[in-house]
Amino acid sequence: MIATSTTVSKTALAVCLFLSRWLCQLRLIYEIVLSSFHSTSLRRLWLDVRQPAASIASMPKTTKPPTYKTGQTAVAQYVGQLDSLDQRSLALWAALCAEHVLPCFEREHPADGRPRRAIEAARAWVRGEIRCGAARAAAVAAHAAARACTHPAATAAARAAGHAAGTAHLPGHARGAAAYAITATAAASPDQLEDAIRFEWQWQMQQLPKRPSFKE
């Protein structure tokens, strides 16, 4: 009986030692992987792979009629991916977002070129052809055009153009351009609101620069 008890104790001790060594090795592997994950390149790769599916799934239900908050809520799902972009890259991206919905304005006001000129001003600022003050003036003009609109989609599209030009002043205006572009798309498709928001959201994601900053 004593011999059996001693054998069981030795076996248990051996198992505990084996598990202890195994857990130590597992912890070491975990720490190595965690350390690697905190490197910028690997973490960015993980976010690029994970973000679209997670964000689309978690996008909240929208309300009718769409407002700026509608677009703002959608943009918030990927806004972290904008942090690595410099101001000129953001301005180019904002101009793309605004231009994509510009027909919503031009269908209603074909003779009013203020929003289009604001988008052109954003790109001209990136190229160094105009100073920030000129881009801001174009932004103010686009917002004035928005105030003259009666159709929600046209208003939001003009606002998007104004924010695109405003990115020359403050990088945060790029988010406004994207949010208003989503709002414009939603307002133009009231019968397919969520599909319209999802389409514009995905399109904007696809336009994000693949590299972290603007190159001459």
Residue with tokens 């990927």: 78
End-to-end Cα spacing for the chain = 84
Within the chain, residue ranges assigned H as helices are 2-37, 40-58, 68-75, 87-106, 114-126, 132-147, 152-166, 173-188, 193-207
Q: pLDDT tens-digit profile of 150-173?
A: 999 999 999 999 999 999 999 999
- Residue pair 132/138 in contact (Cβ under 8 Å)? The answer is no
> pTM higher than 0.75 for the full model?
no
Within 81-170, residue ranges assigned H as helices are 87-106, 114-126, 132-147, 152-166
Q: pLDDT tens-digit profile of 73-120?
A: 777 777 677 887 899 999 999 999 999 999 999 999 999 999 999 999
Q: CB-hemisphere CA count at 13 Å for 61?
A: 2
At residue 33 the predicted structure's pLDDT band, cuts being 50, 70 and 90, is very low
